[in-house]
Chains A and B, each alone.
Chain A
Amino acid sequence: MTSTATRPDPRPEAEPDAKPPLALGDRVFKALSVGSGALIMVALAGVFIFLALEGYPGLSVDEDFYNPATTFLGYAGPLLFGTVLAAVIALVIAVPFAIGIALFISHYAPRRLAVPVAYLIDLLAAVPSVVFGLWGGRELAQHIGGASVWLEEHLGFIPLFAGPAAKSGSTMLTAAVVLAIMILPITTAICREVFAQTPRLHEEAALALGATRWEMIRTAVFPYARSGMVSAVMLGLGRALGETMAVAMILSASPVVTLNIISGQSPATIASNIASNYKEASPDGQAVLIATGLVLFAFTFGVNFLARYLAGRGQRRMAR
């Protein structure tokens, strides 16, 4: 690209006429697709500019707004920590399930079972997050509260389960489990698609060497699907980081930084904190909340870039 742009063109007049004229349909379609592509960039830039302009004042307002901390970092830190903690635990729970279900659908289940299972999983994605919040807060929380007591008793030496266990179940663990259920469909759907696209040739190469089904999946399917699996996890992570209602309805938030996921004292997530406080906040308070939104935006962006880079590196190595 760059070399043709910098090299002087020997036939300057011939250039515009050199392209054959496009048919009307092609011109319309090109305009539509270029326009859509540009629009998404504009929208993204617009969101970023809004967050930066509106959130900037929030970085340095009166100390009271950062209560109980005194600086913006002290305020946003625990929230970011809570966001990441909830999302990471959700991923740890959801990803093995998602890969297992996807493999079941693409490689293990007979067709007449695979299709309905795939359909049910997709249906899970259609449940609104408020409904998940209600169910999580009222029903699931009680069971997890009970389980938390057991976890504290038997696995209390792990910092995650240090306790004291909250019997109500309004804990990080409950929120993470609900988040895991919410990100399961998208992660499963994408994994399923990439698994199903593994070239038959590679699968047969493994089978003909005497691979069992699991060995075939390990030698042929997973290497082929790797970058797709990263995308799937990233989309799940994106949803978990940004999920608002379910978390807001489950967590009883307090501004602490703790790995302890079964106690009643757990940090809120950025998104749920914005949702619970935005309406009642003064203009300065709102600016602070928008600034935390900017932090979330930047963080998600960074995580996505990192993941793309890691997935791409694997692929470049493969292509060389």
Chain B
Amino acid sequence: MAKSIDVSDLDIYYGSFKAVEGVNMTIRARAVTAFIGPSGCGKSTFLRSLNRMHEVIPGARVEGKVVVDGQSLYDPSVDPVAVRRQIGMVFQRPNPFPTMSIYDNVLAGNRLNSKRMKKSEADTIVEKSLKGANLWNEVKDRLGKPGMGLSGGQQQRLCIARAIAVEPQVLLMDEPCSALDPISTSAIEDLIHELKSDYTIVIVTHNMQQAARVSDDTGFFNLKATGEPGHLVEFNATKKMFSSPDESSTEAYISGRFG
């Protein structure tokens, strides 16, 4: 199920503006890869280019290669919709569908993939996904209630349940805890630990302790200067990044002596 991702010489543009330049990395399967860096350095843009979500913005395009399991994501024959079905995403702010119940929220992706499901089959998926997202015990008695009625942390776990319900190969998380309190954050981090046995997880975070806690590999993005494209400064095992990074600017950023 989990797949690794190979990125080579990736440039990302918005119209004529080059947002990210020359990224090379291999994201390992069944591991957590974290991206850190200052705001506006292109880490979210890069993350979104991994499932072609950045194309939602008109004029966005890439040069270079992103290969998942031997298949290039940007091959002209590849449908972005198909890419997103394989590579799930969790956003900065929890975004359950407001008109849907908890039950329907979990199944939203499966319903899109438009197979006719038996009731028993749907029940199984809902239970499995909610258990996978550590939410089952809290919501099992109110599956018919709206997803918006949950707390922020629960909503975010509902979104994770929704993402894993379609059994993607990769799970992208764009600052999944930045809108949550510390307790909910810790619940999500525990969940990330559990999920990595089944999924390849890529997470963008502003919280360096979080990157240190949850990830196996870490990439540090930075801007050369204001107005210049962002680039990958260093990509290494998290342990090494946080103890003896190769680049002095990585160390400066991590220890808070940035700039």
Interface of A is mostly: helix
In A213-251, the 8 Å CB interface with B consists of 215, 219-220, 223-224, 226
Interface string of B59-101 (1 = CB under 8 A from A): 0000000000000000000000110111011010101111110
User: Is the beta-carbon distance between B148 and A209 smaller than 8 angstroms?
Assistant: no
User: Is the beta-carbon distance between A210 and B98 smaller than 8 angstroms?
Assistant: no
A111, A204, A212, A318: the one contacting B98 at CB < 8 Å is A318
User: Is the beta-carbon distance between A204 and B95 smaller than 8 angstroms?
Assistant: yes
User: Is the beta-carbon distance between A202 and B97 smaller than 8 angstroms?
Assistant: yes
User: Is the beta-carbon distance between A201 and B91 smaller than 8 angstroms?
Assistant: yes
A203, A209, A219, A314: the one contacting B85 at CB < 8 Å is A209
A110, A111, A205, A208: the one contacting B51 at CB < 8 Å is A208
User: Is the beta-carbon distance between A205 and B84 smaller than 8 angstroms?
Assistant: no
Q: Kindly specify which of B158-166, B184-192, B210-218, B250-258 makes contact with the partner chain.
A: B158-166
Q: A207: CB under 8 A from chain B?
A: yes
Number of interface residues of B (CB under 8 A): 31
B56, B91, B99, B166: the one contacting A223 at CB < 8 Å is B99
- How many angstroms between the C-alpha atoms of A207 and B81 in the bound complex? 8
Who on chain B is nearest to A110 by CB? B58
Most A CB atoms within 10 A — which of B82, B109, B113, B145? Answer: B109
Q: B23: CB under 8 A from chain A?
A: no
User: Is the beta-carbon distance between B109 and A318 smaller than 8 angstroms?
Assistant: no
Report chain A residues within 8 Å CB of B225: none
- B154 CB, min distance to chain A CBs, angstroms: 16
Q: A69: CB under 8 A from chain B?
A: no
Number of interface residues of A (CB under 8 A): 26
- How many angstroms between the C-alpha atoms of A209 and B160 in the bound complex? 11
- Evaluate whether A206 and B99 lie within 8 angstroms (CB atoms) in the complex, with A320-B146, A320-B149 already known: no
B53, B97, B145: the one contacting A220 at CB < 8 Å is B97
User: Is the beta-carbon distance between B84 and A210 smaller than 8 angstroms?
Assistant: yes
Q: A211: CB under 8 A from chain B?
A: yes
User: Is the beta-carbon distance between B166 and A210 smaller than 8 angstroms?
Assistant: yes
Q: B108: CB under 8 A from chain A?
A: yes
Q: B117: CB under 8 A from chain A?
A: no
- How many angstroms between the C-alpha atoms of A203 and B56 in the bound complex? 10
User: Is the beta-carbon distance between A202 and B98 smaller than 8 angstroms?
Assistant: yes
Report chain B residues within 8 Å CB of A110: 58
Report chain A residues within 8 Å CB of B109: 209-210
User: Is the beta-carbon distance between A224 and B98 smaller than 8 angstroms?
Assistant: yes
Interface string of B29-59 (1 = CB under 8 A from A): 0000000000000000000000101001010
User: Is the beta-carbon distance between B58 and A210 smaller than 8 angstroms?
Assistant: no
- Evaluate whether A219 and B97 lie within 8 angstroms (CB atoms) in the complex, with A201-B91, A208-B88 already known: yes
Report chain A residues within 8 Å CB of B81: 210-212
Report chain A residues within 8 Å CB of B98: 202, 223-224, 318
- B87 CB, min distance to chain A CBs, angstroms: 9
- How many angstroms between the C-alpha atoms of A230 and B85 in the bound complex? 33
Chain A interface (Cβ < 8 Å from any Cβ of B) = 110-111, 199, 201-212, 215, 219-220, 223-224, 226, 314, 317-320
Listed A/B pairs (26) with beta-carbon separation below 8 Å: A199-B95, A201-B91, A202-B97, A204-B89, A204-B91, A205-B91, A205-B97, A205-B162, A206-B112, A207-B53, A207-B84, A208-B53, A208-B84, A209-B84, A209-B85, A209-B166, A210-B81, A210-B86, A211-B81, A211-B112, A215-B112, A219-B112, A223-B98, A226-B99, A317-B146, A318-B148
Known: A210-B112, A219-B112, A318-B148. 9 other contacts (CB 8 A): A204-B91, A205-B91, A205-B95, A208-B84, A209-B88, A209-B163, A215-B112, A223-B97, A223-B100
Chain B interface (Cβ < 8 Å from any Cβ of A) = 51, 53, 56, 58, 81-82, 84-86, 88-89, 91, 93, 95-100, 108-109, 112-113, 145-146, 148-149, 159, 162-163, 166
The 4 A-B residue pairs with the shortest CB-CB distance, nearest first, are A210-B85, A223-B99, A209-B109, A208-B89
